[in-house]
Each structure stands twice: as structure tokens, then as C-alpha cells.
Amino acid sequence: MLKAVIMDFDGVIIDTEVVWYDIYKGWFKEHYGYDLSVTEFLICVGSSAKDFFLQMKEQNNIVVDEELFAKNTMSRFIAESDALPIKSGVRSFITEVKSRGLKLALATSSAGKKPIKHLKRLGLLDYFDEIITAEDVERIKPFPDLFLKAVERLNIEPSEAIIVEDSANGLKAGLKADINVIVVPNEVTKHSAFDDCYRIAERLDEVNVGQLIDYYQEEECC
């Protein structure tokens, strides 16, 4: 039986990842004359930038001062993301989840301040029963800790939840947690492979919550 939906934040609720890719791409072009591809950037989408910087060092001999990078880019990210609109279908999906009596959690690799700020701005914060961020676990995606913490706090089993993600790292984390994952890619993550996901949808308004509930009941019966 489906009892809860667990949603990612970046790239699912607002398109912060598209903003970040433009910033990364411009920064590497300005500082190193390097044309950063989407596929190179994808390693840090939904996860930490540390693996990305390590990859740049090992594969391209580009050693980045991470503190300088953050200093150069964070204010621009804040300015460009502060008024980002909610993604298509998100509000109607969230309201249907709650109207069907399901629990709703957020599980994000970001620290707590940013997603809570945007959820308040968009009038969505009160819909969420639990919010789990990087500050609540030892390891972020692609490790399963965020999702395992979510089902623990919701007091349900992994088989009673479904995840909404946009990234390959999020999908990997969900699969490791033994939870079904719906993937809704954005303009950056659409270049990823999403093997073994429960479903792929272009927008969240394509996902019918009532049908999801029925599917889970049918699978339980079989």
C-alpha cells in the first residue's frame, strides 16, 4: 500500500540545477578556457560537488580552489535562483498527494536553509510532513541515507513509499533504499541514464496519484 511520497527539491520543485550548470560552465570558461559539458557536470547533480572537482583534477588536470569557486559563484546563484518559479505540475501534484491522505516528505542533498526558504516563498512548506536535508545524515545521494531517514521519520516501510527525483544520483539513492523512483528530468538531467526507475515523466502533472495508489494495491495483491 502506498502511504507516502518523498520528493527531491533541486530540479524537481524549482530548476536550480539549470542555473548551476550555466554558472559552472561560465566560470570554467572564464578561469580555464574550458568548455564544460553537461555530462561532466552531471556527476554533482543531486549530490556533492566534491566528486566533480576530483573528476576535473583526474581527467583534465584542472585543480579548483573550492573556497574561491564558492566565493565567486554563490552570490550569483542566489540572485538568479531567488525568484525561480515552481515547476510545471508540482503544486497540483502536491495538493493531490495530500488530498489522498498520503504523507509527504522532502529529501534533499542541500542544506536546510535553501529549500525551506523557497518552500516558504512558494507557499508549499506546510504541505510537508517531514523535511530531511544534508544536515540530517552522514552521507548524501547517491547513498540512500536521506531516503532511509525519510521513511524512518514517516514511520513507514520503503515498500510503502515512492520517490520523485530528477537526477541519476537521486535514482541510485532511491534504488539503494529499495524504494520505487519516478524520474522527472529537467534540461540538464535529461542527458542522464535512468535505468530501473519506476517511471519517467516529462512533467509532474502527467503523474496521476490515484493511479499510483491503485498500482501499489495491485502489486501488493499479486
The residues that are catalytic are: 8, 10
Coil, helix or strand at residue 123: coil
For cell 520523485, the residue is 164
Per-state percent for the chain, helix, strand, coil, to nearest 5: 55, 10, 35
On the question of a cis peptide bond just before residue 142, with omega within 30 degrees of 0, the verdict is: yes
Q: Is 198 exposed, middle or buried (0-12, 13-18, 19+ CB in 10 A)?
A: middle
Let me know: does 194 contact 183? Beta carbons within 8 Å.
Answer: yes
Own/partner long-range contacts of 139-142 (Cβ < 8 Å, ≥24 apart)? 140/47, 140/48, 140/109, 141/46, 141/47, 141/109, 141/167, 141/169, 141/170, 141/172, 141/173, 142/46, 142/47, 142/168, 142/169, 142/170, 142/172, 142/173, 142/176
